[in-house]
Amino acid sequence: MMENLVLGAMLFGTTTDERRSFALLDRFVDAGGVWIDTANCYSFWADPSGFGGQSESLLGRWLASRPGVRDRVRISTKVGCEPTLAGRFPETAEGLSGGAVKSGIEGSLRRLGTDHVELYWAHKPDPATPLEETVAAFDELASAGAVGQLGCSNYPVWQVERARQLARANGGTGFTAVQQHYTYLQPRPATQPSVVHRFGAVTDEVLHYLEQHPDMALWAYTPLLAGGYTRTDKPLPAEYGHPGTAARLTVLDEIAAETGTNRNRVVLAWLTGGSPAVTPIVGVSTVGQLDEAFAGVSLDLTADQRERLDSAM
C-alpha cells in the first residue's frame, strides 16, 4: 500500500468541485493510496457561509457512493480552527477545550458518515485551554474508539513533549504524529514561511526531536510550495529570495535531469526517503498532478544524490 503519500482534501467541496474531487479520490484509491487528510474547518475561507465542513461532507458522500472503499482508506481530520463566528478567524476559533474536542469529532463523524477516524489532530495550540484538558479530551476519544492515532499540528516542540508527558503520566494515549510545513527549500533566516501558523514550520529542533523519538511521525503540508517549484505562474514566496535558494535549486535541477524527472518528484523523493522519513500531504487539482506525486514518492535517490541535495546551501 502507498502509505507514504497523503491526499490533502482541503479544497474538496469548495474550490475543487464534486466531480473533480471524486475523480481524484477514485484515482488515489485505484493507485494504492491510503491516507486522506481533511479538517472540520475546511474550507471556511472559500465558502460563502464563512464556516467549514464542506471537505468532510464531500468525503462522506464519496464514501457512501463507493461501497467497500471505507475499508481501504484511512481518514485523518482535525479540530481547533473552525470559526464560531463567520468572518472572524482566528479570534473566534473553536479552540481545544474538552467540549470543543468532543463536539468537533461528533460533527466530523456525522459529515464523514463513519463511526471513527484513524488519526485525529489538534489543529493548532489553544492558549486559552489548559493542555491537561486537551490531552484528556483526546484520550477519551481514543479510549472510546472514535479515533485511532492522535497528532498535533503547528505545535512548538516543548508543547508536544509536555502533552506526551501528561498522557504517559495518566496512562493515556498521547500524540504520535506532528503535522507541519516542510519542503526542500529553506526560508531566509529570521523569516517565517507565509503558508504556516506561528509554530507550523519544521525547524532543526523539530527534526532533532523526531530523531530522538522514533515513535513520532512527521506529516508535511505544502511540500511543493503550491506549485512554486515547477510553475512559472506560481512564483516562490518572498522568504525564499536568498542565495541559498539558488544553490539548492541548481542541485535540484541536476538531480531531476539525472533521474529523468522534475523538481516536484525529486522533492517528494527527498522527503520520503530521508531521516526522519516524512509523509507528504499533496493538495492536487488534476489526476496528472496526483500521478506525478505517486511517481515522486516511488523515486529512489542514490546516497550520492541525497548527500548533494542535503549539503547544498
Return per-residue pLDDT of the chain as tens, 313 residues: 478 999 999 999 999 999 999 999 999 999 999 999 999 999 999 999 999 999 999 999 999 999 999 999 999 999 999 999 999 999 999 999 999 999 999 999 999 999 999 999 999 999 999 999 999 999 999 999 999 999 999 999 999 999 999 999 999 999 999 999 999 999 998 888 877 788 999 999 999 999 999 999 999 999 999 999 999 999 999 999 999 999 999 999 999 999 999 999 999 999 999 999 999 999 999 999 999 999 999 999 999 999 999 999 8
Quote the CA–CA distance of 141 and 147 in Å, as a whole number: 6
Strand 147-153 with 117-122, pairing: parallel
Quote the CA–CA distance of 11 and 21 in Å, as a whole number: 9
Chain centroid to Cα 293, Å, comes to 15
Are residues 93 and 83 in contact, defined by beta-carbon separation less than 8 angstroms?
Answer: yes
End-to-end CA distance of the chain: 35
Phi, psi (deg, nearest 5) at residue 48: -60, -25
Q: Give the CA distances from residue 210 to residues 118, 217, 218, in Å, rounded to whole numbers and listed in that order.
A: 21, 8, 8
Give the CATH class of 2-235+263-301.
alpha beta
Quote the CA–CA distance of 155 and 163 in Å, as a whole number: 10
User: Any idea where the domains of the chain sit in the sequence?
Assistant: 2-235+263-301
> How is residue 154 written as a grid cell?
503547528
Q: What is the pLDDT of residue 1?
A: 45
The amino acid that residue 307 corresponds to is: E
User: Three-state SS string across the chain, please?
Assistant: CEEEEEEECCCECCCECHHHHHHHHHHHHHCCEEEEECCCCCCHHHCCCCCCCHHHHHHHHHHHCCCCHHHHCEEEEEECCCECCCCCCCCCECCCCHHHHHHHHHHHHHHHCCCCEEEEEECCCCCCCCHHHHHHHHHHHHHHCCEEEEEEECCCHHHHHHHHHHHHHCCCCCEEEEEEECCCCCCCCCCCCCCCCCCCECCHHHHHHHHHCCCCEEEEECCCHHHCCCCCCCCCCHHHCCHHHHHHHHHHHHHHHHHCCCHHHHHHHHHHCCCCCEEEEECCCCHHHHHHHHHHHCCCCCHHHHHHHHHCC
Q: Could you tell me which of 268, 259, 277 has the C-alpha nearest to residue 222? A: 268
Quote the CA–CA distance of 189 and 208 in Å, as a whole number: 18
